[in-house]
A and B are shown apart, each in its own frame.
Chain A
Amino acid sequence: MDTFLGLEALVLARVQFAFTVAFHFIFPAISIGLASYLAVLNGMYLWTKDEAYLRLWRYWVKIFAIAFAMGVVSGIVMSYQFGTNWSVFSDLTGPVLGPLMAYEVLTAFFLEAGFLGIMLFGRGRVGPTLHMIATAMVAVGTAVSATWILSVNSWMQTPQGFTMNEVGQFVPESWWDVIFNPSFPYRLAHTLTAAYLTTAFIVGGVAAWHLLRGRVANLGVQTMFSMAMWMIAVTAPLQIVIGHEHGLNTLEHQPVKIMAMEGHFESHEDGVPLVLFGWPDQDAGEMHYTIEVPRVGGLILDQGWNGSMAGLDTVAAEDEPPVGIVFFAFRIMVGIGMLMLGIGIWGLIARFTGRLYDSRWLHRAALVMGPSGLVAVIAGWFTTEVGRQPWVVYGQLRTADALSPVGAEAVGASLIAFVVIYFLVFGAGVFYILRLMNHPPEPGETGLRDEAGPVRVAGLNPHQQVQETGGPRPHGGEN
């Protein structure tokens, strides 16, 4: 078997997929949340005519534009990687998954892309109602996109509604069953909520940074912080409930994944402990340095005080996922979730005691937690994806059997290219985003370049057009 730096094509292709998807996933997680936030800000501005909302819209739209562009380009890579590295998977699952992805393109990508230009550059040209519709369409597009791609992913986790044809392709039998597969609603709710929570922490972190720097004279900052803390207070506990339900669903359909997440190498007959921490040793089939709470694991998993649960000792070795990664990734996700809940409660207390804008410790905590959602999202993604191994379509198609007829050198060389280029390009993007965030929203905040200066359009300039369509007068010097 040919290798690259001692690694086989299969390993390299998996690392490449994990790397590119983890990088990609950051950006939709931000743009799903920010698109909705921008729609809310735009709506609030139209409703209240309070300039603070417009200022925030213009502030965040610049950050959104960068995150969105990075999401688009890293997403195009994903859409072709199925074919380059996983061509057997593509051939066999194409009839089922291809249409779902085609629907994602037709209902979501075009919607986002078509209205993005109007949202970013069209405020001075289409009038407030159409501009609001464009902003809303972009937000709807991001959520619809998530819906389809999570249906695809969920089907790979809990496949149903298909038969096999003579060449081994999955052939759809019931589209309803394919799309609404058993884990889909849980995964969709969990991921969308994660995106909103992630964005709320980023917005809250940026606001906290400016509050800590004493930029309180700027009303936009307080509005930003208040909105973020409301969002966290609502979504953090909600996410814990959804995550719990998702876990129960996984226990029903992918029990082996739960065994790995919970670190249960052994079966439990009478009462299932909750493993708080430990060091999984998959070769020996046991946990080292375990700290556990008796019987609570069974309660959490709805198995009762005296419940029983099978462990990895009941699973054939070739069907076990890599326990260490799943175990730790799950703990990172849950740990961050608990901290998020803490911030949510703290924010509520500070609000009701009138200290929301004065509590420096709350602001420091919010700042530190700013990027935590991204870490949690990636950890969660690893939990669910690595936990599905060694299957790419759970129980049906092994990852090892899905690989392209590729040489290790080709996959290895392209992996290095991805790593180098992604760090360079997206590193620059993150730098530009952080630099934008480092400045507070200004009273004369300008949006993207269109709003800074007028553009003449076929003998009709934007000012006239807005006035003719009954829109508000342009604001001094900004349009």
Chain B
Amino acid sequence: MSERTNILARIREGLSVPAPVPGTHELHGNEHATAPAPIVPGMVMKWLPPVGATFGDQVALFAKNSFELKTDFQIFDSLGELQGALKTLAQVEGWQRIGTHRGTLNDAICPALGLPMMLTDESYATPDLEKCDAGISECESLIAQTGSVLVTTRSSGGRALSVLPPHHVVLVRREQLLPDLPSGFAALKQKYTGNFPSFMSLITGPSRTGDIERILVLGAHGPKKLTIFCV
């Protein structure tokens, strides 16, 4: 407790003299000592990359971003089509075992794959999840602006399911597509205020690194592939 007191005391002492606000780099006495106008929520959207007005624009933007990020994004007209595509994927890649969690989409789709399933809703052994060929999760939302998937512990099967297996598959309904980051954060706040999940993450493409000569390599430590199936 005492270091807390010491640090806060030093901070308060330091702050007893006000600093000029940004944009005015010279000191003009104390004339600029008041706080700048707070950012009005909604303003941010005017500065960030544009997203297009209609739902169609936003889907197109999400698809374009996914392509650049090397995410496989597909949109289906029915659950049946999605199911078929997932089955094909499982066969092509030769999945032996999948990790997943309870959820309306997952429950409707995953059991029919006929593969051994490991659920992360109950306590589980990490090495077992590591051996799964794919992690299939739901998500909170998709963000058109950046091509991101927003996952949380509560909606997406915990912290590890979406990062430990080599292939992360996201099942999502089209209503979950949101235009931009501010709306993604606003939605989280609205849903969870007072009791946030302990982990929330924006996933933007499969895991990647550029640490060797700045050359892009996918699958550094997390999934090598990210597939988003939307219905």
A binds B: no
Point out residues on A near B: beta carbons under 8 Å: none
Point out residues on B near A: beta carbons under 8 Å: none
